[in-house]
């Protein structure tokens, strides 16, 4: 997080809450011209939007007017995981080139010289 974000948050931000991953959520102290509060998150670690859990996602996008409250999690609810696409932890199915497998060429590419 850069100095400008820290100063803006200190000057205009009102701390709302923190999620189980350490991300901190803020909203502006005053309403804007449209009559709504600006909301933002300060991520812990990498800045990655998929790190926001569903409860807080609803609040930050003005779907839920109130911030989420701690609640009982049911046994069938999965824990939130960030999107790992593009990282070395991304899912790679068996047979992918990175795993040492090169697929057979089952076709012959067209070439203008073969006419």
pLDDT at 102: 58
Instruction: Tell whether 102 is covered by a domain.
Output: no
Instruction: Tell whether 89 is covered by a domain.
Output: yes
Q: Which has the higher per-residue pLDDT, 101 or 104?
A: 104
Residue 109 pLDDT class (50, 70, 90 cuts): confident
Digit-coded pLDDT (tens) for 43-53:
998 888 888 99
Reference 80, options 33, 20, 36; nearest CA is 20
pLDDT at 73: 85
The total number of structural domains that make up the chain: 1
Residue 89 pLDDT class (50, 70, 90 cuts): confident
Instruction: Tell whether 78 is covered by a domain.
Output: yes
The answer to whether the beta carbons of residues 29 and 8 sit under 8 Å apart is no
**Cα separations in angstroms, 106 against 55, 93, 111, 115:** 48, 20, 16, 20
Instruction: Tell whether 103 is covered by a domain.
Output: no
Give the domain range for residue 27: 3-95
């Amino acid at each position: 997080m850069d100095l400008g974000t820290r100063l803006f948050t200190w000057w205009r931000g009102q701390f709302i809450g923190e999620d189980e991953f350490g991300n901190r959520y803020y909203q502006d102290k005053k309403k804007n011209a449209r009559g709504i509060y600006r909301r933002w998150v300060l991520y812990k670690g990498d800045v990655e939007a998929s790190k926001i859990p569903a409860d807080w996602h609803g609040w930050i996008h003005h779907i839920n007017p109130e911030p989420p409250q701690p609640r009982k999690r049911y046994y069938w609810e999965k824990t939130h995981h960030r999107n790992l696409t593009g990282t070395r932890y991304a899912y790679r199915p068996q047979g992918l080139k990175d795993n040492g497998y090169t697929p057979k060429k089952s076709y012959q590419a067209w070439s203008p010289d073969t006419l």
